[in-house]
A and B are shown apart, each in its own frame.
Chain A
Amino acid sequence: MATIAEINITSDITDSISFSISETMTMTKADGNIDLEQTTGLAQRTYSGSTDQVDLITIANENITVNGANKVYIRNTGTDKTKHFKITLGQAGGNSPTDTEEIGRLYGGDWMLFPYDAYPLDADDTDGTTVGHANNVDICVAPSSTDKMTLEYAVFHQ
């Protein structure tokens, strides 16, 4: 049950130095060579009428292993480069960013793939100490426009 992700980046930012990046990863469980076996599947959400920050992935609602080798894929399926989704980690409460850390902004067509610890409230760190996070590390999104905007996403996890 393999899940394989390959990235290719090509750029002509410089005239004198051309380069490309190519990497392939097979998603495995932590500490070993066993393939990841669970996924949310590929899903899609459409937002309109509000720019409030909301949860995309709520840890409490998912069975994602904390500190696992989980991976998250998100893509803004739009084509408009003037509209973006703000992607944050933390707690999106009360329709406003109460305690979140902003990763970045996905403009039209942009995608991201990143590892995900899925840290809940006060989870134990790798060294056994308790991390004093006041909130779960949910994955939150905020559209930049009240126009209809869509993203697709998937979580591959232990």
Chain B
Amino acid sequence: MATTTCTLTLESDMLSSPINISASTTITKADLTTGLELIEMGRGTIAESDGSKTAEFGLPTALGTRKAAKLFLVNKATDPTFYIDVDLHDTHVGRLYAGDWMFVPWSMTDVAAEWVIEAEPSGAVCPYEFALFQEPQTLVTHS
């Protein structure tokens, strides 16, 4: 069985009592204890001049609907003013500034649940890396 472990270590000294979070999960198929078995990962670049785009990792598949996919995305830009605006379909999620990353579950509720990315501000060019973990897909009969 494939085992994929995702660990977070977060430390903050904002408060007089520091916040220390240590979380680890073995990501599994929906409602099961067996691991996810499909991974897609890669690297891309988006420029402000590209406008908003559906990310290559952001297209839902019918076979992934309401399951247990997980998405990791990191903005590899180094200019601290460059950010990737991340939307889920038409809903604003947030901004990934240079060096920021996100790790979220993704339900792929329907074909309109795509991830949309946009580099900002004017002149920004943002390299990014991603990894998408999914349940295995059912093979289809060839044409």
Contacts and interface: CB of A to CB of B under 8 A. Distances in A.
Interface of A: 1-14, 19, 21, 23, 25-28, 30-33, 36-39, 41-42, 67, 69-71, 73, 75, 81-82, 84, 86-87, 89-90, 101-107, 109-117, 119, 123, 126, 131, 133, 137, 154, 156
B76 to A, nearest CB: 9
Nearest to A116: B94
A102 B109 contact: yes
A158 B126 CA distance: 23
Q: Which of A5, A32, A114, A126 has the most B CB atoms < 10 Å from its CB?
A: A114
A1 B14 contact: yes
B93 A117 contact: yes
Given A11-B2, A25-B99, A70-B94, A126 B120 contact: yes
Contacts, number: 200
A103 B15 contact: no
Given A8-B9, A31-B80, 6 more contacts: A2-B13, A11-B3, A82-B32, A90-B91, A126-B120, A154-B21
Contacts of A115: 86, 93-96, 100, 102
B7 interface: yes
Nearest to A10: B5
B131 A36 contact: no
A13 B38 contact: yes
Q: Which of A1, A42, A156 has the most B CB atoms < 10 Å from its CB?
A: A42
Interface size range on B against A = 35 or more
Interface of B: 2-15, 19, 21, 23-28, 30-33, 35-39, 41, 66, 68-70, 72, 74, 80-81, 83, 85-86, 88-97, 99-107, 109, 113, 120-121, 131, 133
The DSSP consensus for interface residues of chain A is strand
A75 B95 contact: no
B93 to A, nearest CB: 6
A69 B95 contact: yes
A8 B97 CA distance: 19
A102 B113 contact: yes
A108 to B, nearest CB: 8
A14 B120 CA distance: 36
A36 B14 CA distance: 8
A32 B36 CA distance: 37
B19 A39 contact: yes
Given A41-B15, A41-B19, A115-B102, A31 B81 contact: yes
Q: Which of A27, A41, A104 has the most B CB atoms < 10 Å from its CB?
A: A104
